[in-house]
Amino acid sequence: MDNRYHSWRANAAEATTVNVVMDDAARNVLRNTYMLLSLCLGFSALTAGAAIVLQLPYPGLILTLLGYFGLLYMVNRNRTSGAGVAWTFALTGFMGYTLGPIVGLYLRLPNGGMTVMMALAATAAIFLTLSAYALMAKRDLSFLGGFLSAGVMVAFLASLAAIFLQIPAMSLGVSALFVLLMSGMILFETNQIVRGGETNYIMATVSLFVSLFNLFTSLLQILGFVNNSD
């Protein structure tokens, strides 16, 4: 009985250690992901700022989707080579360009500057909080993968319906749903890196960037509605 007890304690201690401590490979992936993500966020901010200053028009839904999925395909195809980094910058720069006209529109509204700053601050706070939790969490969050994938597909189709049907309440509901789903994606992807489930820092960077992009735009729409509803 005593031997079985000590054996159980040893196995439990080993499991706890595995859950908490990252190996060198996971640590390298995490470091490279955060480094590339920081650079891509900066580059995206530059392209967004240029689009605002030059007053470039929004490319439209079809061109945006074609550009996004086309560049995403090229990133995925070259994810194991240096070209994948270049395509990642191309993708995030393009997404920054599409964001510029949207942010410019909000800046021209009453309380627009405050709305944009609040959305940025909320996005940063959510990302830092959830990343810290995912880094310290002892639980394996891989079970969220299927649920989040299905949820994103449903939310994406609902967002298209909201655009074509022109229903403001539906758009706000979709934005709120995206906030929850993108928060979940940040948790999931970071936890996957920590536990060794994601070994490619390029794809990890793209996943986190897209989550941050959608989180920011969703918060921007919600806060824009609240700040300009008077």
Q: How many domains does the chain have?
A: 1
Alpha-carbon span 36 to 223, nearest angstrom: 29
pLDDT tens column, 10-66:
444 443 434 445 777 888 999 999 999 999 999 999 999 999 999 999 988 889 999
Q: Which two tokens stand for residue 59?
A: 């490319």
Apex CA 23: angle with CA 22 and CA 26, to 5°? 75
Alpha-carbon Rg of the chain, whole angstroms? 20
- Predicted TM-score (pTM) of the model is 0.85
Q: Are 195 and 26 in contact (CB under 8 A)?
A: yes
Q: Per the domain annotation, does 160 fall within a domain?
A: yes
The whole-number pLDDT of residue 76 equals 95
The whole-number pLDDT of residue 21 equals 56
Angle between helices 112-136 and 168-194 (to 10 degrees): 30
Q: Per the domain annotation, does 133 fall within a domain?
A: yes
pLDDT tens column, 73-128:
999 999 998 899 999 999 999 999 999 999 999 998 888 889 999 999 999 999 99
Q: Per the domain annotation, does 114 fall within a domain?
A: yes
Half-sphere exposure of 208 (CA within 13 A, CB side): 32
Q: Which domain holds residue 6?
A: 2-58+93-227
Q: Per the domain annotation, does 74 fall within a domain?
A: no
Q: Per the domain annotation, does 75 fall within a domain?
A: no
pLDDT tens column, 174-227:
889 899 999 999 999 999 998 888 889 999 999 999 999 999 999 999 998 877
Max Cα-Cα span within the chain = 76
Concatenating the DSSP letter of every residue in 161-195 gives HHHHHT-HHHHHHHHHHHHHHHHHHHHHHHHHHHT
Mean pLDDT of the chain: 85
The whole-number pLDDT of residue 15 equals 39
Residue 148: which of 189, 92, 176 has the closest Cα?
189
Residue 65: which of 101, 86, 103, 91 has the closest Cα?
91
Alpha-carbon span 102 to 110, nearest angstrom: 15
- For residue 142, how many other CB atoms are within 10 A of its CB? 12
The whole-number pLDDT of residue 229 equals 60
Alpha-carbon span 90 to 82, nearest angstrom: 13
Residue 142: which of 205, 211, 189, 207 has the closest Cα?
189
Q: Per the domain annotation, does 27 fall within a domain?
A: yes
Apex CA 51: angle with CA 131 and CA 105, to 5°? 80
Q: Are 214 and 170 in contact (CB under 8 A)?
A: no
Q: Per the domain annotation, does 182 fall within a domain?
A: yes
Q: Are 91 and 71 in contact (CB under 8 A)?
A: yes
Q: Per the domain annotation, does 21 fall within a domain?
A: yes
